[in-house]
């Protein structure tokens, strides 16, 4: 069932186009995460849904009803703010019950609801405290309690964990996930932290420059990014991009890259002209290294040791070093000479505009599943 629908939503502010033709459907009970770089419009989108900002063009539908002109309280949404925005002069109890009081809820119901909310969030013992006597995590929970107390169908979170320290962030992340499982209300969550997005979301919406780049499950987005932007935005360390030139277009493309040489790849490029500039994307975990004999191969520029794994930086003559995620036991050291092997099933090819080229289904079977760097094409040292 569709809970919330954005239909060609636009937002301008001071002559700037903040959001452009945003279309999105969110099912009831779904956990949706908006992610994107700062200034991409994700917070604005959340505020439009909340009713704190007005929509310039397009429709916002909740339960099939157009709610563009409804007040926030009439939309059945609750919101958790980045800075918590608790009322400093009110106790936890009063903070949570403020909305209920304004809605003229009956006294007994009000008390019951507040106590229930407090219990879910483990705030029972803190009800008489003031916000300044609470820790960061507790304040965060009060902020959630305040948003939940009126039992809205949709809960909005605006970067709720960004003010917490790292360990507390992991803990609160798990609590939010549990809360979602328990309340099964629709949640929309804005973050710039991809770990939060990947772990919490049923559906991730990647925004860039005011429009939606891609919508999909975390796995879809990670494994089948629709654009170079999404590919580079998700994943850490980020995807490696190698400059390439299309040599022969077709259902499988013959591609020339300075690093790999001329390679045939199973991507459909029949709509492009020969000579088009492309970029070949490969994630660090899909690059494997083999020791190269003698003075050929690529030089290891540096090694980052992380305990569970190492990141090997390779000098390929491109703008950025190519990063490869290796096991610690491989024991690579700066100065070693290596040969590259790329996992062909996990390569991505993007055209000049950053759109991904479609993978040619049959081609995968017939091709060898790895491409190797031809040692004679190693960059001159």
Partner 1 sequence: MSLRLLKKTLLRLGFWCLIGVLLLYAVFPFYYAIVTSLKPSGALFQVSYWVESPDFSNYAAVLHQASFLRAIGNSLVVALCVVTLALFLSVTAAYALGRVKFRGRGTVLMMVLGVSMFPQVAVLSGLFEVIRALGLYNTSWALILSYTIFTLPFTVWVLTTFMGQLPHELEEAAIMDGASPWVTLTRVLLPLLWPALITTGLLAFIAAWNEFLFALTFTLTDTQRTVPVAIALISGGSPHELPWGLLMAASVLVTVPLVILVLIFQRRIVSGLTAGALKG
Instruction: Specify the stretch interacting with partner 1 by CB under 8 A; choose among 94-102, 215-223, 330-338, 347-355.
Output: 94-102
- Residue 84 CB, shortest distance to partner 1, in Å, is 8
When asked if residue 102 is in the footprint of partner 1 (CB under 8 A), the reply is: yes
User: Out of 9, 60, 127, 147, which residue is the one contacting partner 1 (CB under 8 A)?
Assistant: 147
When asked if residue 153 is in the footprint of partner 1 (CB under 8 A), the reply is: no
CB atoms within 10 A of CB 139: 21
Long-range contact set of residues 122-130: C-beta below 8 Å, sequence gap at least 24: 123/92, 123/96, 126/92, 127/91, 127/92, 127/93, 128/91, 128/92, 128/93, 129/91, 129/92, 130/88, 130/89, 130/90, 130/91, 130/92
Instruction: Specify the stretch interacting with partner 1 by CB under 8 A; choose among 27-35, 69-77, 113-121, 252-260.
Output: 69-77
User: Out of 3, 141, 146, 313, which residue is the one contacting partner 1 (CB under 8 A)?
Assistant: 146
Instruction: Specify the stretch interacting with partner 1 by CB under 8 A; choose among 5-13, 96-104, 192-200, 357-365.
Output: 96-104
Q: Which is nearer to partner 1, 66 or 89 (CB)?
A: 89
Q: What is the DSSP letter of 296?
A: -
Return all residues near 373 (Cβ < 8 A) that are at least 6 apart: 259, 260, 261, 297, 298, 339, 340, 341
Residue 319 Cα to chain centre, angstroms: 25
Instruction: Specify the stretch interacting with partner 1 by CB under 8 A; choose among 76-84, 170-178, 235-243, 253-261.
Output: 76-84
Angle value at C-alpha 68, between 180 and 76, nearest 5 degrees: 35
Orientation angle between helical segments 136-148 and 92-102, nearest 10 degrees: 20
- Residue 195 CB, shortest distance to partner 1, in Å, is 24
When asked if residue 98 is in the footprint of partner 1 (CB under 8 A), the reply is: yes
Distance CA 72, CA 38 (A): 25
When asked if residue 81 is in the footprint of partner 1 (CB under 8 A), the reply is: yes
User: Out of 5, 73, 224, 367, which residue is the one contacting partner 1 (CB under 8 A)?
Assistant: 73
Binding-site size, partner 1 (CB under 8 A) = 24
Site for partner 1, residues 1 to 60, rule: CB under 8 A: 50-52
- Residue pair 91/47 in contact by the 8 Å Cβ criterion: no
- Residue 5 CB, shortest distance to partner 1, in Å, is 21
Break the chain down into helix, strand, coil percent, rounded to 5: 30, 35, 35
- Residue 81 CB, shortest distance to partner 1, in Å, is 4
When asked if residue 88 is in the footprint of partner 1 (CB under 8 A), the reply is: yes
Q: Which is nearer to partner 1, 129 or 238 (CB)?
A: 129
User: Out of 72, 76, 317, 354, which residue is the one contacting partner 1 (CB under 8 A)?
Assistant: 72
Distance CA 136, CA 146 (A): 15
User: Out of 46, 77, 121, 234, which residue is the one contacting partner 1 (CB under 8 A)?
Assistant: 77
Site for partner 1, residues 103 to 122, rule: CB under 8 A: 103
Q: Which is nearer to partner 1, 186 or 257 (CB)?
A: 186
Q: Which token pair is 89?
A: 């002069």
Angle value at C-alpha 297, between 296 and 300, nearest 5 degrees: 125
Of the candidates 31, 283, 305, the one whose C-alpha atom is nearest the C-alpha of residue 177 is 31
Q: Which is nearer to partner 1, 148 or 260 (CB)?
A: 148
Distance CA 314, CA 299 (A): 6
Q: Which residue ranges make up the site for partner 1 (CB under 8 A)?
A: 50-52, 71-73, 77-79, 81-83, 85-89, 98-99, 102-103, 146-147, 150
């Amino acid at each position: 069932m569709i809970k919330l629908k954005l239909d060609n939503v636009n937002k301008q502010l001071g002559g700037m186009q903040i959001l452009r033709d945003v279309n999105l459907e969110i099912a009831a009970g779904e956990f949706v995460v908006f992610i994107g770089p700062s200034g991409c419009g994700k917070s604005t989108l959340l505020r439009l849904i909340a009713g704190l900002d007005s929509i310039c063009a397009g429709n916002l539908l909740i339960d099939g009803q157009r709610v563009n002109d409804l007040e926030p309280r009439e939309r059945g949404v609750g919101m958790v703010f980045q800075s918590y925005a608790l009322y400093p002069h009110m106790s936890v109890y009063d903070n949570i019950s403020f909305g209920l009081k304004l809605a003229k809820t009956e006294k007994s119901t009000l008390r019951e609801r507040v106590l229930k909310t407090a219990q879910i969030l483990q705030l029972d013992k803190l009800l008489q405290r003031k916000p300044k006597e609470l820790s960061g995590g507790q304040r965060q929970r009060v902020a959630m309690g305040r948003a939940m107390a009126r039992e809205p169908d949709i809960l909005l979170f605006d970067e709720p964990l960004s003010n917490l320290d790292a360990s507390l962030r992991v803990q609160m992340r798990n609590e939010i996930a549990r809360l979602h499982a328990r309340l099964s209300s629709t949640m929309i969550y804005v973050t710039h932290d991809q770990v939060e997005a990947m772990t919490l979301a049923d559906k991730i919406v990647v925004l860039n420059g005011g429009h939606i780049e891609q919508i999909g499950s975390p796995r879809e987005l990670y494994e089948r990014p629709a654009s170079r932007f999404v590919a580079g935005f998700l994943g850490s360390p980020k995807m490696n991009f190698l400059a390439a030139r299309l040599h022969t277009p077709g259902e499988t493309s013959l591609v020339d890259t300075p690093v790999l040489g001329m390679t045939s790849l199973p991507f459909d490029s029949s709509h492009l002209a020969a000579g088009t500039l492309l970029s070949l994307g490969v994630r660090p975990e899909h690059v494997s290294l083999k020791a190269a004999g003698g003075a050929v191969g690529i030089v290891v520029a540096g090694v980052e040791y992380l305990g569970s794994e190492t990141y090997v930086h390779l000098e390929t003559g491109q703008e950025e070093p190519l990063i490869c995620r290796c096991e610690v036991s491989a024991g690579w050291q700066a100065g070693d000479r290596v040969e590259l092997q790329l996992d062909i099933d996990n390569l991505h090819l993007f055209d000049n505009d950053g759109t991904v080229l479609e993978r040619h289904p049959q081609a995968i079977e017939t091709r060898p599943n790895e491409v190797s760097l031809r040692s004679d094409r190693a960059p001159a040292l």
